[in-house]
Amino acid sequence: MIKIERQFIFQQEWTGKGERGIRDFLLIPAIFFGAICPGLFISSLVSNYVPGYWAALALNFGGYGITHLLFLGKMERFWRAVLNVRTSWISRGFVFNAMFSLFGLLYALAETAPLPVLSDPAVKTLLKLMSAVSAVLFAAYPGFMLSIVKAIPFWRSLLEPVLFFLQGVMGGLALQLLLMSFMPMPGYAGDIVIKANFVILQVVLLLFMSALIIKAMHGGAEKTSVAFLTTGNFSRVFLGGALVTGLVAPLFILTAGILLPLDFDAYSYIYYLAMIAELAGIYAGKYSVLRAGAYSPLR
Amino acid sequence: MKRWGMVIDLKKCTGCQTCTLACKVYHGLGPGVTRCRVVEQEVGGFPAVERLLISLRCMHCNEPECMKACPTGATKKRSDGIITVDQDECMGCRYCALVCPYQARTFLGIEKRYFSGDDNIWESLRYGEHQVGTVEKCDFCHKRIDEGIAKGLEPGKDPAATPLCVVACIGKALYFGDLNDPGSSVSGLIRERKGFTLKQELNTEPSVYYLPRRR
């Protein structure tokens, strides 16, 4: 049989570039907030940091919801996204987001205002469980959404959902630490968040590098995607932004902070800088992964 | 049950883009929107280099990735195997365009015209059929097929009931017919000339077959 080879081309639909200007770009912040909102909620659940719940819900509404709506070609039809839960990961994500918004709001209400209906310990536990489960699913769904795209081999990996979830939690922890500088939590020290972040940072870096090496070892489109990320102009975004700024530099700071050890209160600004770098790195990482979607050739 | 399909003879295609143009004119597709296109590719290495001209369009897969991915249910598979997009149901998320291994879909982001000034009658009629913010793709000219069948015509044989690209092809490189009918011209060509589909490893079972240039 003859083989029809074709030069690799990169996906153009979800690159943040398009004829509609800013509206096409809004998918990138939507995916970014779609990761860190549930991440912030989960990290706040662990420490019962009430301002974190509300911040997660507010960012979910504005940063994820509104931006996603504006990205759609026909935003007034957004509700139709629920109609194909059986096979579509976008539909499932829509449901996970709705569940997260509902249960998250109810749990935040239960923790903030002692309403009679929500103050029952059994109801509260149920709400906590449901909001946690929906937050985990919501954080991981974009990874599943990308990993099932047969046409783009670079995305086809079981690591995608795991990385999306862990990066979400990592960003959530970073955001929680930044929030705690404005709204401190009595009896809860920032160094606990730092230590949790330190562990997840290492796991993410390990998975990140493993995924890249595995993809680079494959031929064809996957190798092309890795080359796009690591050589040429775009490597500044990926290597400089996602890898060095977002993972290596914060890990270096946190390692120094833990090993030396640096007093959290005295060096808090260095930690805050590391957290901002982490968030910027997550943003660059999401953008890079989307941009690197190379199609395998027709054959 | 019929399953409409197309056969493209790579030996006969001259790359004239008549199919592309016929499709664009008939469906009133604006700048940047294509439902079918012909791409040129170099195959092989020196000294056995070949230049191939491949007419591409929606493959109307039997196992369509786009339909599974579509969150709104706008992408549908008809009983005759044709994949359609209901523009009244599409919300313009473009996930279908992303998952299609054949890059057969185009997003109509903004309204564009080839010429400035008012639309002529044809443009007003045809441009009005497309909704900005939704996704476009080849539908095998299913309206021609349906209207033709209603008149007792046979798609693939009667031009009025056949996709316009097939009718317009100057090299007679395109064939259309029922893939489920072993006696149809398309089934015969696939069998005799060892027709193949693109990206078989993805198991999408396309309904568009290609006939090799050499046996």
Can you tell me the mean pLDDT for B1-22? 95
**CA atoms of A177 and A183, how far apart (whole Å):** 10
Distance from CA of A169 to the nearest CA of B (A): 25
Domain count, chain B: 1
* Cα–Cα separations (whole angstroms), residue A67 to A34, A72, A98, A261: 10, 9, 16, 41
Can you tell me the mean pLDDT for A90-102? 97
Report yes or no on A15 lying in a domain: no
ipTM of the complex: 0.91
Of B93, B132, B210, the CB nearest to A90: B93
The answer to whether the beta carbons of residues A103 and A131 sit under 8 Å apart is yes
The answer to whether the beta carbons of residues A147 and A155 sit under 8 Å apart is yes
Place A1 in a pLDDT band, splitting at 50, 70 and 90.
very low
Report yes or no on A10 lying in a domain: no
Domain range for B63: 4-211
A-interface mutation test, from B91, B100, B209, most A Cβ less than 10 A away: B91
Can you tell me the mean pLDDT for B120-139? 90
Taking CA–CA distances from B214, the nearest residue in chain A reads A2
Domain range for A178: 22-291
Report yes or no on A281 lying in a domain: yes
Residues in A touching B194 (Cβ below 8 Å): 1
The answer to whether the beta carbons of residues B155 and B177 sit under 8 Å apart is yes
Q: Is B213 exposed, middle or buried, given 0-12, 13-18 or 19+ CB atoms closer than 10 A?
A: middle
Chain B (55-84) residues lying within 8 Å, Cβ to Cβ, of chain A: 56, 65, 67-74
Report yes or no on A161 lying in a domain: yes
DSSP A238: I
At A5 the pLDDT is 46
Residue B132, pLDDT above cutoff 70: yes
Give the tokens for residue B91: 């919300």
Dihedral, CA of residue A103, residue A106, residue A107 and residue A108, to nearest 10: 120
Size of interface A-B (CB pairs under 8 A): 127
pLDDT digits (tens, 9 = 90+) for B77-87: 999 999 999 99
At A37, which CATH number? Answer: 1.20.1630.10
The answer to whether the beta carbons of residues A59 and A40 sit under 8 Å apart is yes
Highest mean pLDDT: which range of A50-64, A107-121, A251-265? A50-64
Nearest alpha-carbon partner for B19 in B212, B164, B116: B164
Report yes or no on A190 lying in a domain: yes
Residues in A touching B70 (Cβ below 8 Å): 84, 88
**Average pLDDT along chain B:** 93
Provide CB contacts within 8 A for B10, sequence distance 6+: B52, B53, B54, B173, B210, B211, B212, B213
Give the tokens for residue A194: 């730092």
At A6 the pLDDT is 54
Taking CA–CA distances from B50, the nearest residue in chain A reads A4
Report yes or no on A4 lying in a domain: no
Residue with tokens 């004119």: B25
At A2 the pLDDT is 45
Residue A196 CA to chain centroid, in angstroms?
17
The answer to whether the beta carbons of residues A44 and A196 sit under 8 Å apart is no
At B71, which CATH number? Answer: 3.30.70.20
* Cα–Cα separations (whole angstroms), residue A44 to A168, A169, A199, A246, B204: 13, 10, 17, 21, 44
Residues in B touching A24 (Cβ below 8 Å): 109
Nearest alpha-carbon partner for A127 in A97, A98, A102: A102
Whole-prediction pTM: 0.92
pLDDT digits (tens, 9 = 90+) for A178-204: 999 888 877 776 778 888 999 999 999
Domain count, chain A: 1
* Cα–Cα separations (whole angstroms), residue A132 to A4, A96, A117, A282: 48, 11, 20, 22
